[in-house]
Structures are given as C-alpha cells and as structure tokens.
C-alpha cells in the first residue's frame, strides 16, 4: 500500500525562506481527527513568527487558523463544541490552542487564554514533537484530542469564514469578556487590518450608534467601506499631519470623544494617540499589541483626567471561536466578508507573506 502523505509549509529557520515539504500522513489519533485543511489563514502574527520576534521552537508547520473537511475520525465518540455529532465529510473550524487546565491561570484564575503551557497549532508544535502536520498551512492537519472543533453552518462561504478566522475570536474575547460594546455607544477603532475590521463589525452588530475606523492605507479603508464595515473611515497611515486626523476623529465622535476606543493597530505609538480619543469616563480597550514592538511615550494625565478604564485582552479560547462561528450567518448577511480575502495556492506561500507584509491585501488565505 502506498504511504499517504501531506504537504505543509515549514518554518525551518527564522528570517529565512519557508519550505513546502511532504510528510507521512498518520492515522487519526484516538479522540482526534485528520482534517483535509483546504484553507489556512495568514495572520500578521505569522510574519512575526517567521522573523523570530516570538520565542517558538523550529522547525514547525505554520498556520494557526484554518477550515477544512473531516477526512478521518479517531476512535471514540465525536461531537463538536456545541454538541453536534461529527462525521467524515463535515466542514469544521478548530481553535488553535489547547489550554493545559492545571496551571494557576487555568485552575485558579479562570483565565485559560493566559495558560502557561498552551499548545498552539502552527505556533509551538515543533516537527520533533510529532505529528509533523500540526499547522494549517498544509493540505492536511492532525487535530489532537482536546481540540475545540466547531461545525461550520451549511452554506457558509469558506473565504468569508476565513476572513476573520483569528481576528473574530480574538475580538469575541475582547468584547464579550473584557469590555462589551453597549447599545448606542460611539466607538473608535484604531487599525484597519483584520482585527480592526472584526472589532468594527462586531461593534456594529452589538448596536453601536457610530463606528469610526481610523487606519490605512487608503486601499484598506476603501475595502472596509465597500464591505459595509464602519460608518466613518479616516486615513492616518498616509497623513502628512496625523494631528489633524486625530482632530477629525474627535469631531466624528461629536467632539467629546468616543465611549469606547479599541486599539487594533499593533503600533505602539497608537496607544498614546488613542488615549486622547476617548471621552471623559470612557474606556480604552487594547487588543493590537500582541507582539512586543517596543516602548512608546504616553501621557498618564490623559488616563486620569479622562478617568479612563484601560483594559487589555490577550488571544482567545475555543469558546470564543464557537461564538465567532455562531455569528457567521449574521456577519455574512450584513458584511461582505469574502471581499476582504485574497486566496493564494499553498505553493505561493511566499507571495502571500509578502502581500500581507506590504499591506497590498487585507487578508491572505492559503488554499489546497
């Protein structure tokens, strides 16, 4: 019998070109499954991983966001996170991380996103740990028991689902657990990448009266507007005078500032700017600084004078992925999410990374 194999994009050395390699495709583990991973999202974090900005083991298969079709189920009874029976042929998404359940954040603090021993597909599952096919930038992925898997609603466009595959659950955590959007609020979103657009779209669904997106470059803001995401779009990335754009943002909120400002830019300097965009008594929710991009100057007086609640939000759990998938029918009926995605064949992974790095695409997705 011919040995089954799968292809995958491997990070072998930091700051070096990635390689498309072939690996044996093992049988599904007990309690787990093998998924034909048709779609693997390219996240901004992947750029940082490739450059060595985060402490991860190499070599490994990249890709922490994916969607695919179940090809083989391991021994045991299989249901998704919502209790729906799973079968070969079902289309599913899966949470990237499995929390250990026993460290202090998991056991005592009820904060599984802060788990000290999280195992994350495409991030810290090295080839030597096995199985090699443990990332979504591949034509197959082996999902271990304990992975949160959720069936995708029938009729969902896979590209639409992948548009916010990491950003959506990340924002679900931030807006559900950390600081919800309240009915009638004015919201400013800093950043017009996938996380920023997820925050803006979720704020609109939650009943915000006005959502102002401040970001850039112009092409990204145009795509957001065309997709129906955000009410006002202001370009600070290309501005000769950012101070003038900040004045425009405040004017768009009515002059007093936003009830809630959500930082999704990932640029340290955005934090100092964002503190000045919230109204007195408002909130500043920081999602974007996932990678340590360095220090920045802020004026603490802005926090005290405005009496701000400043809140951070880190990553997401399987429950937040479930919330995102449940919201997909509402999201896709209101917003043209598929228009945000540019697909690339697995073989063109280098082109996809380049396009994400230079901002020429909103969301790159590898297909196989």
pTM of the model: 0.95
DSSP summary character for residue 178: I
Instruction: Quote the pLDDT of residue 195.
Output: 97
Q: What is the pLDDT of residue 2?
A: 64
Domains of the chain in start order, with CATH, are 5-164+337-367 (3.90.180.10), 167-312 (3.40.50.720)
The Cα 207–Cα 127 span in angstroms is 45
- How many residues can be counted in the chain? 368
Q: Is the peptide bond before 39 cis (omega within 30 degrees of 0)?
A: no
Q: In the prediction, which pLDDT does 54 show?
A: 87
DSSP string, 215-282: E--HHHHHHHHHHT--SEEEE-TT-S-HHHHHHHHHHHTTSS-EEEEEE-S--THHHHHHHTTEEEEE
What is the biggest distance separating any 2 CA atoms in the chain, rounded to whole angstroms? 72
What is the per-residue pLDDT for 251? 98
pLDDT of residue 333: 97
What is the Cα 17 distance to its own chain's centre?
23
Q: What is the pLDDT of residues 228-272, one digit of tens each?
A: 999 999 999 999 999 999 999 999 999 999 999 999 999 999 999
Report pLDDT for 1. 54
User: Alpha-carbon distance 274 to 296, whole Å?
Assistant: 12
Q: Which stretches in the chain have pLDDT values below 50?
A: none
pLDDT of residue 291: 86
Read off φ and ψ for residue 105, nearest 5 degrees. -60, -40
């Amino acid at each position: 019998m011919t040995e089954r194999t799968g292809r995958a994009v491997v990070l072998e050395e930091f700051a070096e070109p990635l390689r498309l390699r072939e690996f044996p495709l093992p049988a599904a583990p007990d309690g787990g499954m093998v998924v034909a991973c048709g779609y693997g999202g390219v996240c901004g974090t992947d750029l940082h991983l490739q450059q060595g900005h985060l402490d991860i083991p190499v070599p490994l298969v990249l890709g922490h966001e994916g969607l695919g079709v179940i090809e083989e189920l391991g021994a045991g009874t299989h249901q998704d996170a919502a209790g729906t029976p799973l079968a070969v042929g079902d289309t599913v998404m899966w949470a990237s991380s499995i929390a250990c359940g026993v460290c202090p954040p998991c056991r005592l603090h009820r904060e599984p996103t802060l788990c000290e021993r999280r195992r994350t597909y495409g991030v810290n599952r090295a080839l030597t740990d096995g199985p090699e096919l443990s990332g979504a930038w591949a034509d197959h992925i082996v999902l271990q028991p304990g992975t949160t898997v959720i069936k995708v609603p029938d009729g969902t466009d896979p590209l639409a689902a992948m548009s916010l595959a990491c950003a959506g659950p990340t924002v679900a955590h931030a807006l559900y657990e950390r600081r919800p959007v309240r009915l009638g609020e004015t919201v400013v979103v800093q950043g017009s990448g996938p996380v920023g657009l997820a925050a803006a779209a979720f704020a609109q669904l939650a009943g915000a009266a006005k959502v102002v997106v401040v970001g850039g470059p112009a092409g990204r803001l145009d795509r957001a507007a065309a997709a129906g995401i955000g009410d006002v779009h202001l370009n600070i990335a290309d501005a000769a005078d950012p101070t003038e754009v900040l004045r425009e943002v405040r004017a768009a909120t009515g002059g007093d500032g936003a009830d809630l400002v959500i930082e999704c830019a990932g640029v340290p300097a955005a934090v100092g700017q964002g503190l000045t965009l919230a109204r007195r008594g408002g909130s500043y929710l920081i999602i974007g600084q996932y990678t340590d991009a360095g220090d920045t100057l802020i004026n603490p007086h802005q926090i005290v004078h405005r009496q701000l609640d400043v809140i951070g939000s880190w990553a997401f759990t399987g429950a937040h992925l479930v919330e995102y998938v449940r919201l997909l029918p509402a999201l896709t009926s209101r917003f043209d999410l598929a228009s945000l995605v540019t697909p690339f064949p697995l073989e063109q992974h280098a082109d996809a990374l380049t396009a994400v790095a230079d901002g020429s695409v909103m969301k790159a997705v590898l297909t196989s």
